[in-house]
Structure 1
Amino acid sequence: MVGTRNAAFAEESAEVEVLIASLGKTKDLTKRIAGSLSRLDASGRIVKDAIGPIYNNTQQLQITSGNIEKVNEAIEKLRQPLDARGREENIIRQGPKAAGLPQYLGALKRVDKALTDLNSSNLRSNQQAISDFHSLLSTGVNQLNDLYRQMLQEDAQTIEPLQNITKQIPFPTITQDKVQLLSQISMAILSAGTQSARLGQNDDDVAARIYAEIRGDYLQNSLQNLSTASISTSKRRANDSSIYREGSSGIGAYAKAIEGMFLSEAENTSRIFRNVNDAGRIFTMTCSKALSTFTRTLAELNNFIKSRILTDCFLAYEILDLITPMSYRLDSRTGQLRPQMTDALRPIRETARSSLSDLINQTKRQAETVSTLPPDGNTIPLVSQTATRLQNLALFDRPLLALLSSIGDGNWRAPQGMTSQSSLNLELTPSSENPNLLSHFLLDIVDTLLTTLNARSQTLHPKKYVQGIFQLNSVAVLSRAVQSSPDLARYIGISPHNAKFETYRRTASSLYMSAWREPTALLFDSIHTGSGGSRPMSGQAIDSTSIIKSLSSKDKDKIKEKFRLFNASFDELVARHKSLHMENEVRSALSREIQGTIEALYGRFWDRYHEVDKGKGKVVKYSKEEFSRLLAGL
């Protein structure tokens, strides 16, 4: 055991000695490495001190070289516009026709870009070059302006819009090929204007001005004849008192032409000037001359209307009916011209509004100034004129309903109710309006006329029966106008509005029929037939002979006197009735009323007492059959 343990110790001791020997070698190697690193560091410092200045110089040379290259590039870039001058100047001097428009526009575009580049360099040395390029650009644009103007004038020949309207031919527009060229030219002119603005020259709207000038003259000249025709067809002689008839003025054709030509022009501007705002602005500029003439035309027509309000107010309503919806259509299609149309229409609109009270007031004034009335009860021209006026008013229900709605029910009766300024909702949609307003207004005219004329009749016609006939004739003329006009009947020919006519008719009929009460009263006998006689039972035949025999001589004389008085009064009434002028419907109605009032009474009286003169005809002048035929002939 002891021998084994000593052997193990000896082996471990040998390993330790080997490790100690290896450690010694490692330390020796470490010292050598440390010495080598020290020597290498010293050599590096020597190299750094020698190479450092050379490296720094190399970096500076690289930076300098880069700067030189950038300067060369900038110089080259600056030289490019200057080099382009010679190339583009030759094209521009030739003009767009000789050089060809695409090549010419390309040259202008390159000159424009060269100017932009030169301006961005901000070098004082380039100022002369900038001036030269701008002069070249101006020369090119001036030639382009001439070409632009010439191309526009080719399509600016005056037309006759009436032919397009009557033949339903669309109004002409600029062809698509020419539109593309005009669009390119206008963009080039606009771009050149931007360069001018940089030099302090406000010249950036040349294309718009040229277009508006040439196309504006085209619109103005083409529409001028219709403007003149609208005025000439609306003028009338001083002694012409007839009421204006719808469509008599040329304003309808004028309005159609304006709408058609303006819409065609809006199509042109939208295709040539691609920017929506520019297109709308230029369209408005283009239409300004024609709109000015249109405004003056309406102002002149307004003066005609105001001088003849009773007969020509309908022209104002027609203009409102035509122009107001036209302005809405133009606005919806173009987005323009609504304010201009509103301003042009304002004088007509205010005149139309004030005419509502004028119609009533002047109708009353004319009726009050009547100095004589026909002695036979005939009506006067004022009644038929008013009837025609009522029919015409019903034709223009759309503008009238809008006007009446703007002032309120009944406010047309007093001028002070019309003085406030109003924008007036003139959408002209009667479905949203109250039709009773127009019914009330029309009935106010009727009431004003009949009330005033009835008062004059009481002064100028001493006899009530003449007053009654005059009033009945007046009501008949007005009623006939209502019945013959579906438009008018829609407002005052239906219940409850037609009750107004019936009220006047009953009052007038009562006045006339009062004259027939005297002979009618004579037919109510108070003769007693004596104790021996008795009245026949209902349905039993009357025996006149028996009745007469039962009467005393005194009673017979009373009966004979009644027959004489009745005959005299009746004959006078018949003669008077036939001498009076009566409208057909008045004569028929009165004949029926007289017949219903007196025929039955006379028949009863005749049945009882016709034997009083024993058939000699001296006292009993008319048999029942003769009496009936006479009444039927009234």
Structure 2
Amino acid sequence: MNDLEDKLQIDSGMGKGGKENTKLSRLRDRVDKYHDLSNSMSSILTTFEHRLGKLEQTILPVYNETEHLQNRFKNLDSTLQCLETVLSHYDASQEVCNLIHIGPSEGNISEFLSALDKLKKAKDYFFYNNAQSVELENVTSLFNTGCETLNNHYKILLNKHSHPLKSVDLLDLIYIEDDSSTEDCASIKQLTPSTREELNIISNWLDYNLRREYVNIYADERSEVIFRSLQILKDHQKSSSWGNEALKLRQYGRNEPKKSTSARLQSIFERKANKMLLKASQTIELSTGFALKKNTNTTDNLAPEDYNLDGDQELEKYLVLLLGLQRLLIWERQLLNDIIPASRHTEVFSRLSHSSIDMLVKDAENITNKVLRSIARKEWASALGVFSALKRVILLQPDLDRACDAAQRQQLGNVLKKLQNTGSKALDQFLDLVKCDTVTNLVGMSAGTLSGSNIPKDATVHELTSNTIWFIEHLFEHYDVIGGILQQDSTYSSQINLQKIQSAEDRNKAILGLYIKKVLSELNLTIISKCEQYSDNATKHLFRLNNIHYILKSLQRSNLLDVVSFTEPDCERNYQELIQELKSLYRKSWSRLVVHIHPLDDLPRPINGKVKEKERAIIKDRFSAFNKELEEACKNQRGISVPDILLREGLKRDNAEHIIPQYNAFYEIYADVQFSKNPEKYVKYRPQNVSEMLNNLFDDSV
């Protein structure tokens, strides 16, 4: 049984070995086939490589020869092109000669510039390759002729489309809102976009080719436009229609309300002041958190009399010219950006405005000289006009600075200096005038002054006083400008510690307060000097009292005390004390009358209504002297004027309280005494009569 199992196992092993041998045999056959295929492929590739090598050896000489032929062709073509270029340089002058002499035509400048470019290239070729040739001279001459023709075309084109503005157009330009579109400008409309483009092309070509004559041409032409526009406006200002022009119908579809020139100026400068205030407010608000209040007094709320520039039309007209210049320069700068290369802007802009600014500076000098002559004639409204104009020029200064370059700003700065110098001279002359004690002070004295003198007959407020107060009241309206003028004078700035005053507004008020203090001090001394021209003490005191009282009330009414208090805190109290002192002196002037009836102890006493013979004469003399003094005083003082009703009634009351009680006591004792055969000759006035006489004082109609 075991033998059988062993036999089966052997047979099974032999079967498996046969299968493996079969697989191995197949694998060997396949390897042999792959080897044969590899040898065959290698043989094919080797044969192909040999054949490619032979082909390269055959083609490479042909390729090299072809490349050589191509290079020779290129060289030949380049040579031909160079020859054509050189020939074109020789033919350039003949080809473009007619076109150069005919010149360019408007709207078709490219052909002419192409011709000039051709001449320029020819000129450069001959210059570097054959500088001694006749062709160089011919081409250069024709090129220069072409450039001159181009300059002439440039000038003609500018002149054709540049016209001075009519006065109504310039005024319309001045009075439009600051945010109006620039396309509303008539000056820009004169130069259409196509014209500006052509001028720009010419300018850039000339600048690139180092031909800078166009700078002078453009500057001169546009300078003439600005100058003549302003001159036309000046001529219009001399006409009778000046100041009453109506604005044209604008793009907003409505007519502007008709306003006077002063009203329009007021509106313009009010807007500028509000803009400056808004800017200052924003700065302060950012730093402190507090905002300034905007000015709400627009022109719609102003009365017609508020529009005028203190009555000086010359200064008003000059401000319009300044505004016109500013507007024109803004638009000229816009034109400059469209036409002139950026590298030439500064040079051109300085030239085109120089003559116009020079004209305005000379006009400012003429106006300020005229104002100084008016001030010499005591026409102080002209001085106030200078301060108003100066304030407006300062408001206009930022806009002018933005419109101008550094040289122009320096040139226009002379206008501000002339106005400041004129204002300073006006202030100095006014102060000197108040010091002066002559017949002609502020204005020509009226018939109310004493014959051969310059004091009023009725001892009322002197014209010097009223005019001085009028002047300093109006100075307060310009405290900011005047403060800036006086700060330049060391005699003012050294008397005030300006560093302790933080705000610029208070510093200006303090400086003005110091000036007013000087004026009032000199006025007080002049009043004292003038009162000595009266013959009696009562009139002297009343004259001073009228003037001092008027000064104090005017200062209180106009709030000038607040300004003066910066340098003289006790100003109001000093005036009040002086008024009380003058009232006391006036009461004492009645002592010549009262001394005859007081004291009663010095008079003889009647016994049973009778007095001694020798005492009768004393009573007669006392009554007679009292009557005489009373009549003379009432005669003198009845014609004296005390304009202030409270002061007048107070003086009458003081007189009555001072005289009536004493006369009443004297009258009750001696009126019924038998001191004369004709007592009515001496007892002329009863106490109520004396009271009525005193009440009728200061009334020249009684």
Calculate the TM-score normalised by the size of structure 1: 0.69
2:369 and 2:351 map into 1 onto residues whose CA distance is 28
> CA offset at residue 13 of structure 1?
5.0
Aligned twin of 2:160: 151
State yes or no: 1:107 paired with 2:111: yes
Q: Give the counterpart of 2:403 among 335, 342, 358.
A: 335
User: What secondary structure sits across from 1:612 in the alignment?
Assistant: coil
CA shift, 1:183, in A, is 1.9
Distance in 1, matches of 2:572 and 2:169, equals 44
Are positions 1:214 and 2:224 aligned together?
A: yes
Give the partner amino acid of 1:267: W
Q: Distance in 1 between matches of 2:197 and 2:529?
A: 78
Deviations 1:262-298 (A, max 9, x none): 5246435524752797778756544322321222233
For 2:683, the equivalent position in structure 1 comes to 620
1:597-616 aligned within 5 A? 597-613=658-674, 616=679
Which residue of 1 is the match for residue 695 of structure 2?
632
Q: C-alpha displacement at 1:114, in angstroms?
A: 5.8
Match of 1:575 in 2: 632
Deviation of residue 346 (structure 1)? 0.8
Q: Indicate whether 1:183 and 2:201 are aligned.
A: no
Question: Are 2:368 and 1:359 equivalent residues in the alignment?
Answer: no
Q: How many angstroms does 1:598 deviate by?
A: 0.9
Q: Whole-Å Cα distance in 2 between the matches of residues 350 and 452 of structure 1?
A: 27
- State the secondary structure of the residue aligned to 2:680: coil
2:164 partner amino acid: A
Q: What does residue range 519-530 of structure 1 map to in structure 2 within 5 Å?
A: 519-526=593-600
Would the aligned equivalents of 1:212 and 1:283 in 2 still touch at CA under 8 Å?
A: no
Which of 510, 513, 521 is residue 587 of structure 2 equivalent to? Answer: 513
* Residue pair 1:405, 1:433 contacting (<8 A) in 2 also: no
CA shift at 1:205, angstroms? 0.9
Alpha-carbon shift at residue 39 of structure 1 (Å): 4.6
Q: CA deviation at 1:256?
A: 1.6
For 1:477 and 1:523, the matched residues in 2 are separated by: 35
Q: 1:514, CA displacement in angstroms?
A: 1.6
Counterpart contact for 1:196–1:203, Cα < 8 Å: no
Structure 2: which 5+ runs fail to align?
1-6, 178-183, 240-308, 442-450, 496-502, 698-702
Hey, what's the Cα distance between the residues in 2 that align with 1:597 and 1:216?
Answer: 77
CA distance in 1, matches of 2:73, 2:89: 26
CA distance 1:309–1:356, change in 2 (3 Å): same
* 8 Å Cα contact 1:186/1:207 also seen in 2: no
Report the equivalent of 2:284: none
* Deviation of 1:349 (Å): 0.8
Match of 2:364 in 1: 298
Distance apart, 1:597 and its partner CA: 1.7
Displacement of 1:187 after TM fit? 1.4
- 1:178, 1:376 → 2: CA distance? 68
**Matched residue, 1:421:** none
Structure 1 position 116, deviation (Å): 8.5
1:384 aligns with 2:384: no
CA distance change for structure 1 residues 599 and 75 in 2, over 3 Å: closer, same or farther?
A: farther
The whole-number CA distance in structure 2 between the counterparts of 1:121 and 1:609 is: 136
One-letter amino acid of the structure 1 residue matched with residue 151 of structure 2: N
1:315 is aligned, of 348, 359, 382, to 382
**1:213-362 → structure 2 map (5 Å cutoff):** 213-219=223-229, 221-222=231-232, 246-248=310-312, 250-260=314-324, 262-264=326-328, 266-267=330-331, 270-271=334-335, 273-274=337-338, 285-303=351-369, 311=378, 315-326=382-393, 328-329=395-396, 331-332=398-399, 335-336=403-404, 338-362=409-433
Structure-2 residue corresponding to 1:534? none
* Counterparts in 2 of 1:387 and 1:46: CA distance versus 1, 3 Å: same
**Native 8 Å contact 2:434 2:526 kept in 1:** no
8 Å CA contact 2:167, 2:232 repeated in 1? yes
Distance, in Å, in 2 between the alignment partners of 1:36 and 1:368 is 141
Q: Does 1:471 align with 2:539?
A: no
The AA in structure 2 aligned to 1:173 is: A
Q: CA RMSD in A?
A: 5.5
The residue type equivalent to 2:356 in the other structure is A
1:92-129 CA deviation, whole Å, 9 max, x = no partner? Answer: 65556xx5x223x3434544676798899999579959
One-letter amino acid matched to 1:621: K
Aligned partner of 2:519 among 437, 445, 448:
445
Is the 2:434–2:519 contact (alpha carbons within 8 Å) kept by the matching residues of 1? yes
Match of 1:585 in 2: 643
Q: Deviations over 1:54-80 (max 9, x none)?
A: 344445556666777788889999999
Aligned-partner SS, 2:643: helix
Q: Is the 8 A contact 1:320 1:345 kept in 2?
A: no
Alignment partner of 1:48 is 2:63:
no
Matches within 5 A, 1:137-148: 137-148=146-157
1: distance between equivalents of 2:327 and 2:60? 83
TM-score, structure 2 as length reference: 0.64
Deviation string 1:140-194 (CA, Å, 9 cap, x unpaired) is 41341342254156x238x6689969x9999993372644354234314412421
The CA deviation string for residues 439-481 of structure 1, in whole angstroms up to 9 with x for no partner, is 55334312212224425756x6686445324423544675798
Contact persistence 2:333–2:349 (CA under 8 A): yes
Instruction: Check the 8 A contact 1:85/1:111 in 2, yes or no.
Output: no
Rounded to whole Å, the distance in 2 between the matches of 1:48 and 1:431 is 101
What secondary structure is seen at the aligned counterpart in 2 of 1:387?
Answer: helix
CA distance in 2 between counterparts of 1:169 and 1:16 reads: 112
Compute the displacement of 1:388 (Å): 1.7
Q: Secondary structure at the match of 1:628?
A: helix
Contact 2:330 2:403 in 1 (8 A): no
* Conserved 8 A contact 1:472-1:505: yes
The match for 2:278 is: none
The one-letter code matched in structure 1 to 2:196 is: S
Given that residues 230 and 324 in structure 2 are in contact (C-alpha distance below 8 angstroms), is that contact kept between their aligned partners in structure 1? no
Question: Following the alignment from structure 1 to structure 2, what is the Cα–Cα distance between the partners of residues 386 and 281?
Answer: 56
CA distance in 2, matches of 1:379, 1:443: 28
Structure 1: which amino acid aligns with 2:187? Answer: I
Measured in 1, the distance between the counterparts of 2:33 and 2:456 equals: 162
C-alpha separation between the residues in 2 aligned to 1:526 and 1:328? 74
User: Where does structure 1 lack aligned partners over 5 or more consecutive residues?
Assistant: 230-244, 419-428, 531-546
Q: Is the 8 A contact 1:520 1:598 kept in 2?
A: yes
CA separation of 1:491 and 1:608: change in aligned 2, threshold 3 A: farther
Work out the percentage of aligned pairs sharing the same amino acid: 13
- Taking a change above 3 Å as real, the CA distance of residues 271 and 335 of structure 1, as seen in their structure-2 partners, is same
Task: Summarize the Cα distance change of 1:578–1:122 in structure 2 as closer, same or farther, 3 Å threshold.
Answer: farther
**In the alignment, residue 641 of structure 2 is paired with which amino acid?**
E
